């Protein structure tokens, strides 16, 4: 199945569903920051996620308990590949250099990343 890109609102709700593992709209709403959107807004976005193949549900009478069909790791891989291919010519070096230049990575983090790369190369 092809993974589709999520809007920011859809991704925010998916992050909550990945954390909860399953839940009703009211459970998802309980995890949202203030000011809370309308119940119908959250319900509509979850139904869009269902149409996109990201979630399914178990019916409990008239209410639905939603659960993810796509893992957070699968979407993370999709989003990372899209970022790498679209903005960094599929080069980790270009991406790393960008974050260092934009001061998104400090020297301690850069050192830890380099140690991780060395560790992975030696496997």
For the segment 45-62, what is each residue's pLDDT rounded down to a tens digit? 999 999 999 999 999 999
Give a three-class secondary structure readout of 50-109.
HHCCCEEEEEECCEEEEEECCCHHHHHHHHHHHHHHHHCCCCHHHHHHHHHHCCCCCHHH
For the segment 13-47, what is each residue's pLDDT rounded down to a tens digit? 999 999 999 999 999 999 999 999 999 999 999 99
Domain boundaries, the chain: 8-68, 72-121
Is there a contact between 116 and 122 (Cβ–Cβ < 8 Å)?
Answer: no
* Residue 108 structure tokens: 């301690």
Tell me the backbone φ, ψ of residue 81, rounded to 5 degrees.
-60, -40
User: Residue 26 and residue 31: Cα distance in Å, rounded?
Assistant: 9
For the segment 52-92, what is each residue's pLDDT rounded down to a tens digit? 999 999 999 999 999 999 999 999 988 888 888 888 888 87
- The closest of 20, 31, 26 to 68, measured between CA atoms, is 20
**Confidence at residue 1, expressed as pLDDT on a 0 to 100 scale:** 64
For the segment 4-17, what is each residue's pLDDT rounded down to a tens digit? 889 999 999 999 99
Q: Any bridge partners for residue 59, and if so which?
A: 64
Indicate the pTM of the whole model.
0.76
Task: Quote the radius of gyration of the chain (alpha carbons, Å).
Answer: 19
CATH number 1.10.10.10 is the correct assignment for the domain at 8-68: yes
């Amino acid at each position: 199945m092809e993974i589709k890109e999520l809007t920011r609102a859809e991704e925010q709700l998916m992050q909550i569903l990945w954390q909860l593992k399953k839940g009703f709209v009211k459970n998802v709403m309980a995890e949202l920051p203030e000011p809370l959107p309308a119940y119908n807004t959250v319900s509509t976005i979850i139904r869009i996620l269902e149409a996109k193949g990201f979630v399914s549900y178990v019916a409990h009478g008239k209410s639905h308990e939603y659960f993810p069909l796509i893992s957070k790791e699968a979407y993370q891989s999709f989003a990372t590949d899209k970022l790498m291919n679209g903005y960094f010519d599929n080069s980790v070096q270009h991406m790393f250099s960008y974050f260092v230049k934009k001061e998104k990575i400090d020297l301690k983090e850069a050192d830890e990343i380099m140690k991780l790369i060395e560790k992975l190369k030696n496997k």
